[in-house]
Amino acid sequence: MSSLFVRTLREDPADAEVPSHRLLVRAGYIRRAAPGIYTWLPLGLRVYRNVERIVREEMDAIGAQELQFPALLPREPYEATNRWTEYGDGVFRLKDRKGADYLLGPTHEEMFTLAVKDLYSSYKDLPVWLYQIQTKYRDEARPRAGLMRGREFVMKDSYSFDVTDEGLEASYQAHRDAYVRIFDRLGFDYVVVEATSGAMGGSRSEEFLARLEVGEDTFVSSPGGYAANVEAVRTPAPAPLPWDDAPAAHVEDTPDTPTIATLVDHLNAAHPRDERPWTAADTLKNVLLVLTHPDGTREPLAIGLPGDREVDQKRLEGQLEPIAVEAMDDEELRKHPTLVKGYIGPGVLGEGAASGIRYLVDPRVSEGTRWVTGADEPGRHVLDLVCGRDFTPDGTIEAAALREGDPAPDGSGPLSLARGIEMGHIFQLGRKYAESLGLQVLDENGKLVTVTMGSYGIGVSRAVPVIAEGNHDELGLCWPRAIAPADVHLVAAGKDPQLLQEAERLAADLSGRGLDVVLDDRPRLSPGVKFKDAELIGVPTIVVVGKGLVDGVVEVKDRRTGERQDVAVGQVVEHLVGLVRG
């Protein structure tokens, strides 16, 4: 500690909102260089390398081969897949001295696909699994929580190349198994959920989410084992209902009812029903949005959903990616004179209707359902408006926020919601990239066939804050042994030179046995300050060489449980080797 390049801080950094970020900065693991861009200090780099090692070992174990692409990439391959445009503001772009376009790779599907295309030409060469552990660049709109959402970060990305669909399935399964082993070894709480494949296209897809309150993803799970990112949940479409007994739609005066709550109160006062009172779920709310396509074109969109549901922005974006979504502001609204704020109904929505605005509805707004909704006139609503009879939406969209207790789509019980952050994502890309980049091989019959691909990512740098987030207490970090920056933190506690001598001897013996040791040999610091630093830094075992030495013992303390034990000096090396080797 007297020479280690570290300065612990007593104060929390001003820009850190989550505990892992605060602690990693205070304990001297990382330092901010720019928003979303961080330096690994020596302690941090050790933890990071441990994560990297575990990922690499398990990838090698399934027979994936490591290679490394550059981070600085030419435009052309990304043009071929349209991602030069699709990525929009999310990618860092630059020009070389000749004016040629380059980008800093946000992900490398194109490069992997082209490499296989260049080198391989026969089904006999496949399957092949390739991976890299490499720095990615994404100009994230909201870099957050230190390294959790960085603009420069390290990803392990692998790709599988197969001729047949069964081959892809096997490659996918092998990666899935490797991911389970990796995340079990890394030591954090995670859940595997169904996912959407987002901008990548493709079919089967799962995410490994770390279960964390500070995460940006919401996932649902049911008692029957269903688990999915909310973005991937498909609400089952109800069977069509007959409408023969439905009265004709009728417009009513509903003065001063611009909100759902005021409308429901009005309905119960002016149009009471025998069977049950009106609730927000009887109303059809129409939300207006503006979509921005990657090429910059803007387009209005209306979404109809039951009045007791909110639009979940993230879920909606998940469906529309790479299109960006924002609420329609008043200025934009004024450009559509048929829209009456607070009283907008399907009467003017949909392609071909007065506003011409595309109209998508929640799957619960299905054929035969009856609604109270805006009549497109101030202070008026229409009742008994039947979907399929009185209006026909342009399609459905999963944009409504899910709620605790909603039924699981597979009938496996009520859903509960929780938060998480994506640590890994595996999906079957299929033939999309191979098709756009022309990756074909000759099959057994000498016929050219398009290769099918899988894509598998892990947030290697993200793992460090994620593990820290799940492994800390009010005093500091408590690393799991597998990724801790050292095995033992040895504190020479006291001024007596004999204490330091003994601590140094122990440190040397432990190193001799292959253990990594942090030795706090700082001569002028009080034991209290040293203990605080040891607790902040979070090495799993703290050994105090102090007062007990006159009785021939040192104290061995478990950082996580706080348990202390006096161990005879003559036995402590063996004792610690036992602890570390488990």
Residues near ligand ATP (CB under 6 A) are 107, 138, 140, 149-150, 153, 155, 198, 422-425, 457, 459, 461-462
Give the residue with the Cβ less far from ligand ATP, 107 or 160.
107
> To the nearest whole angstrom, how small is the minimum distance from the Cβ of residue 197 to ligand ATP?
9
Residues in the chain: 582
Give the residue with the Cβ less far from ligand ATP, 158 or 541.
158
* Residue 264 near residue 278, CB atoms below 8 Å: yes
Instruction: Region of 413 please: left (phi>0), alpha (psi -120 to 50) or beta.
Output: left
> To the nearest whole angstrom, how small is the minimum distance from the Cβ of residue 298 to ligand ATP?
24
> To the nearest whole angstrom, how small is the minimum distance from the Cβ of residue 195 to ligand ATP?
8
* Residue 489 near residue 507, CB atoms below 8 Å: no
Q: Where do we find the tokens 């071909």?
A: 352
Q: Where do we find the tokens 């949005």?
A: 289
> To the nearest whole angstrom, how small is the minimum distance from the Cβ of residue 508 to Mg ion?
47
Token representation of residue 86: 């699709």
Give the residue with the Cβ less far from ligand ATP, 307 or 459.
459
Binding mask 412-431 for Mg ion (x = CB under 5 A): -------------x------
In 3D space, the residue among 426, 24, 410 whose CA is nearest the CA of residue 203 turns out to be 426
Give the residue with the Cβ less far from ligand ATP, 459 or 546.
459
Token representation of residue 151: 């603009």
Burial class (CB in 10 A: 0-12, 13-18, 19+), 272: exposed
> To the nearest whole angstrom, how small is the minimum distance from the Cβ of residue 39 to ligand ATP?
15
Give the residue with the Cβ less far from ligand ATP, 158 or 373.
158
Question: Which residues face 268 on adjacent strands?
Answer: none
* Residue 451 near residue 119, CB atoms below 8 Å: no
**Distance of alpha carbon 172 from its chain centroid, rounded?**
20
> To the nearest whole angstrom, how small is the minimum distance from the Cβ of residue 467 to ligand ATP?
12
How far is the C-alpha of 311 from the C-alpha of 289, rounded, in Å? Answer: 11
In 3D space, the residue among 453, 439, 435, 436 whose CA is nearest the CA of residue 164 turns out to be 453
In 3D space, the residue among 424, 421, 24, 18 whose CA is nearest the CA of residue 185 turns out to be 424
Give the residue with the Cβ less far from ligand ATP, 141 or 448.
141
Residue nearest ligand ATP, Cβ-based: 459
> To the nearest whole angstrom, how small is the minimum distance from the Cβ of residue 150 to ligand ATP?
4
Q: Which does 153 bind (CB under 5 to 8 A by kind): ligand ATP, Mg ion, none?
A: ligand ATP
Token representation of residue 135: 């720095």
Give the residue with the Cβ less far from ligand ATP, 147 or 328.
147
Give the residue with the Cβ less far from ligand ATP, 382 or 426.
426
Q: Which does 459 bind (CB under 5 to 8 A by kind): Mg ion, ligand ATP, none?
A: ligand ATP
Give the residue with the Cβ less far from ligand ATP, 462 or 557.
462
DSSP 38-106: EEEPHHHHHHHHHHHHHHHHHHHHTT-EE----SEEESHHHHHTTHHHHTGGGSEEEE-TT--EEEE-S
Q: Which does 138 bind (CB under 5 to 8 A by kind): Mg ion, ligand ATP, none?
A: ligand ATP
> To the nearest whole angstrom, how small is the minimum distance from the Cβ of residue 424 to Mg ion?
9
Token representation of residue 355: 């506003």
Binding mask 367-406 for Mg ion (x = CB under 5 A): ----------------------------------------
Give the residue with the Cβ less far from ligand ATP, 317 or 367.
317
Residue nearest Mg ion, Cβ-based: 425
Ranges assigned E (strand) in 363-451: 370-374, 380-386, 395-396, 416-430, 440-442, 448-450
> To the nearest whole angstrom, how small is the minimum distance from the Cβ of residue 29 to ligand ATP?
16
Q: Which does 90 bind (CB under 5 to 8 A by kind): ligand ATP, Mg ion, none?
A: none
> To the nearest whole angstrom, how small is the minimum distance from the Cβ of residue 88 to Mg ion?
17
Q: Which does 156 bind (CB under 5 to 8 A by kind): Mg ion, ligand ATP, none?
A: none
Give the residue with the Cβ less far from ligand ATP, 138 or 370.
138
Token representation of residue 521: 């040999």
> To the nearest whole angstrom, how small is the minimum distance from the Cβ of residue 144 to ligand ATP?
9
Angle, vertex CA 130, rays to CA 465 and CA 452, nearest 5: 110
Q: Which does 140 bind (CB under 5 to 8 A by kind): ligand ATP, Mg ion, none?
A: ligand ATP
Instruction: Region of 552 please: left (phi>0), alpha (psi -120 to 50) or beta.
Output: left
- Site residues, Mg ion (CB under 5 A): 425
